Amino acid sequence: MKPKLFLHGVTLAFGGLTVIDSLDIQVMPGSRTGLIGPNGAGKTTVFNLISGVYRPNAGEILLDDEAIDAVPLDRRVRLGIGRTFQNLRMMKHLTVLENIMLGQHTHVGLWQRMLVPLNSPFNRAGLTETRAAAQLMGLSAHADLLADGLPYGVQKRIEIARALVTRPRLLLLDEPAAGLNSSERDELLSILLTQLPKEMSVLIVEHDVAFVSSLCDHVVALNFGRKIAEGRAEAVCSHPAVIEAYLGKDDDAADADAGVPAPALDETIVPQESDQKSERAPGAERGTHAA
């Protein structure tokens, strides 16, 4: 089977600093692929390369076997690459439905938008699609409320619904669980597990290792812009190079270097609370308490 997305030898440098280094990543059709790594590993930069914010200095990015390196950002959305962002980008004076609907501007022409604005009652097809995305993400009860003041977990789901109405065949989720409390996180996990179309390919950047393990059939770990491990979540999370990247080199790892056998790859590391990003994004507390 051909990969949905193939990053082949991709390299990107800012000035003299190489932040992505000869990186190979494959996302198979219909897979849930996790991208993990410590802060600064290059995960968001990979998303920016795939979505067209940056162009690689070397290597190529193939979508369905076609090189997309020269394809501009807006056309990549129309080719089926949708994404969310680490920080919420909510229009707080708009309702939940209107916020979701904004994603549709990517496949509705300017003239069409001028004749029938997205939020016009005459935009029936758009409204139906938006309501479907809202329902998928468990947002129907909030549909006509202003996004401002809704709990942070709800706003995160609005962000994903907005990406869904861009009609992605490859969905990039940038830290979907970051900043969520445990019940919001569990609710999101259950929605992503059960509601996303099976044929949709999903690439997820996430620090919450347990979240990634529950969701992803394949995980790629990065450090300093290089791939350091890849495979099933349990194997990757227990890989010595991954543990070292997150926690630094400890005595056991030093022993491993000195010839002491490394832990078996199928031993799962239990993520420690302190290893996970548990802080909410700026403004998140306000949203939560307004619930």
Ligand X SMILES: Nc1ncnc2c1ncn2[C@@H]1O[C@H](COP(=O)(O)OP(=O)(O)OP(=O)(O)O)[C@@H](O)[C@H]1O
Cα 36 from Cα 230, distance rounded (Å): 10
Q: Tell me the two tokens of residue 158.
A: 């609005």
Nearest C-alpha neighbor of 209 from the set 275, 152, 160, 262: 275
> Which positions ≥6 away from 170 have C-beta within 8 Å?
4, 5, 27, 50, 63, 80, 81, 82, 200, 201, 202, 203
Q: Is the dihedral of CA 150, 139, 196, 118 positive or negative?
A: negative
Question: Among 33-41, 69-77, 252-260, 261-269, which window interacts with ligand X (CB under 6 A)?
Answer: 33-41
Q: Tell me the two tokens of residue 247.
A: 């926690």
Q: With binding defined as CB under 6 A, does residue 37 bind ligand X?
A: yes
Q: Of 37 and 56, which CB lies nearer to ligand X in the complex structure?
A: 37
Alpha-carbon radius of gyration of the chain: 20
Q: Of 44 and 181, which CB lies nearer to ligand X in the complex structure?
A: 44
DSSP character string of 171-229: EEEESTTTT--HHHHHHHHHHHHHHS-TT-EEEEE-S-HHHHHHH-SEEEEEETTEEEE
Q: With binding defined as CB under 6 A, does residue 157 bind ligand X?
A: no
To ligand X, the closest distance from the beta carbon of 48 in angstroms equals 7
To ligand X, the closest distance from the beta carbon of 126 in angstroms equals 33
Judged by DSSP in three states, 263 sits in: coil
Question: Among 32-40, 91-99, 110-118, 193-201, which window interacts with ligand X (CB under 6 A)?
Answer: 32-40
Cα 231 from Cα 286, distance rounded (Å): 39
Residues 2-21 contacting ligand X, CB under 6 A: 14, 19
To ligand X, the closest distance from the beta carbon of 39 in angstroms equals 4
Q: Of 22 and 119, which CB lies nearer to ligand X in the complex structure?
A: 22
To ligand X, the closest distance from the beta carbon of 87 in angstroms equals 10
Residues 39-58 contacting ligand X, CB under 6 A: 39-45
To ligand X, the closest distance from the beta carbon of 45 in angstroms equals 3
To ligand X, the closest distance from the beta carbon of 176 in angstroms equals 13
Q: Of 39 and 183, which CB lies nearer to ligand X in the complex structure?
A: 39
Q: Of 19 and 145, which CB lies nearer to ligand X in the complex structure?
A: 19
To ligand X, the closest distance from the beta carbon of 37 in angstroms equals 5
Q: Of 129 and 175, which CB lies nearer to ligand X in the complex structure?
A: 175
Judged by DSSP in three states, 165 sits in: coil
Q: With binding defined as CB under 6 A, does residue 172 bind ligand X?
A: no
> Which positions ≥6 away from 161 have C-beta within 8 Å?
100, 103, 130, 133, 134, 136, 137, 139
Q: Of 38 and 151, which CB lies nearer to ligand X in the complex structure?
A: 38
Nearest C-alpha neighbor of 51 from the set 38, 34, 69: 69
For residue 51, the cross-strand partners are none
To ligand X, the closest distance from the beta carbon of 214 in angstroms equals 20
Q: Of 137 and 212, which CB lies nearer to ligand X in the complex structure?
A: 212
Number of residues located near ligand X, criterion CB under 6 A: 10
Site residues for ligand X per CB under 6 A: 14, 19, 37, 39-45
